[in-house]
C-alpha cells in the first residue's frame, strides 16, 4: 500500500492556507510527499525550543504502530506517541480523513497561536495510505 500523494497534497494545501511557511521535518515514510512538496515550494527552516520560548508550533506526527501496522520497527515508538504528547502537555488531534484536514489544521493553528505552545496533528493510516 503506497503513501497517498493525493491526501498528502490535501494536508499540504491546508498548511499553506493557514499561513504556515516554515517546516522542519524528520525522515519518515508517511511524510515523503509532504517533504517533496515543501522542497519544491521553497518553504523550509529549523524550529526548536518551542515550549521554552512560547513559540506557536503545529507538529505533524505520524501515528504509527497501531492496528494494521506492517513494520515491526514502528510498533514501539508508535505505541507511546500519545503518552509522550500527554506527558509534555501537548494537545493533539487525529487526522484520519481528507475532509477534516482543512478544519483541523485551522483549529490547530488557532490553538497554537492562542496558547503560544506546540500542538500536534497525528497523521493516521486512514489518511496517509491509499487503499
Angle between helical axes of 32-40 and 5-17 (0-180°, round to 10): 50
Split at pLDDT 50, 70, 90, the class of 46 is very low
Encode pLDDT of 11-23 as tens digits.
999 999 998 877 7
What's the rounded mean pLDDT across residues 27-31? 75
Q: Find the domain containing 16 and state its range.
A: 5-128
| Residue with the larger pLDDT of the pair 9 and 1 | 9
pLDDT band for 80, please (50, 70, 90 cuts).
confident
How far CA 96 is from CA of 41, 99, 125, 127, in Å, comes to 25, 9, 7, 5
Spatial distance between the Cα atoms of 53 and 40, rounded to a whole number of angstroms: 30
* Number of compact structural domains in the chain: 1
Task: Say whether pTM exceeds 0.85.
Answer: no
CATH number at residue 96: 3.40.50.970
Quick one: pLDDT at residue 10? 93
C-alpha cell at 89: 502537555
Closest by CA to 128, choosing from 73, 79, 82, 60, is 60
Radius of gyration of the chain (CA): 14
82-131 pLDDT, tens digit each: 988 898 889 999 999 999 999 999 999 999 999 999 899 999 988 988 86
Q: Is residue 49 predicted with pLDDT exceeding 70?
A: no
101-115 helix and 5-17 helix, angle to the nearest 10 degrees? 40
Q: 90-93 long-range CB contacts below 8 Å, 24 or more apart? A: 90/59, 90/117, 90/118, 90/119, 90/120, 91/119, 91/120, 92/61, 92/119, 92/120, 92/121, 92/122, 93/120, 93/121, 93/122
Amino acid at each position: 500500500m503506497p503513501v497517498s500523494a493525493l491526501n498528502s497534497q490535501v494536508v499540504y494545501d491546508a498548511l499553506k492556507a493557514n499561513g504556515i511557511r516554515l517546516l522542519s521535518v524528520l525522515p519518515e515514510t508517511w511524510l515523503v510527499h509532504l517533504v517533496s512538496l515543501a522542497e519544491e515550494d521553497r518553504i523550509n527552516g529549523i524550529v526548536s525550543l518551542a515550549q521554552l520560548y512560547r513559540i506557536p508550533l503545529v507538529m505533524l506526527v505520524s501515528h504509527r504502530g497501531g492496528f494494521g501496522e506492517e513494520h515491526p520497527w514502528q510498533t514501539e515508538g508508535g505505541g507511546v506517541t500519545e503518552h509522550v504528547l500527554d506527558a509534555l502537555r501537548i494537545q493533539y488531534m487525529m487526522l484520519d480523513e481528507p475532509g477534516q484536514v482543512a478544519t483541523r489544521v485551522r483549529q490547530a493553528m488557532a490553538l497554537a497561536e492562542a496558547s503560544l505552545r506546540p500542538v500536534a496533528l497525528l497523521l493516521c493510516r486512514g489518511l496517509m495510505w491509499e487503499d
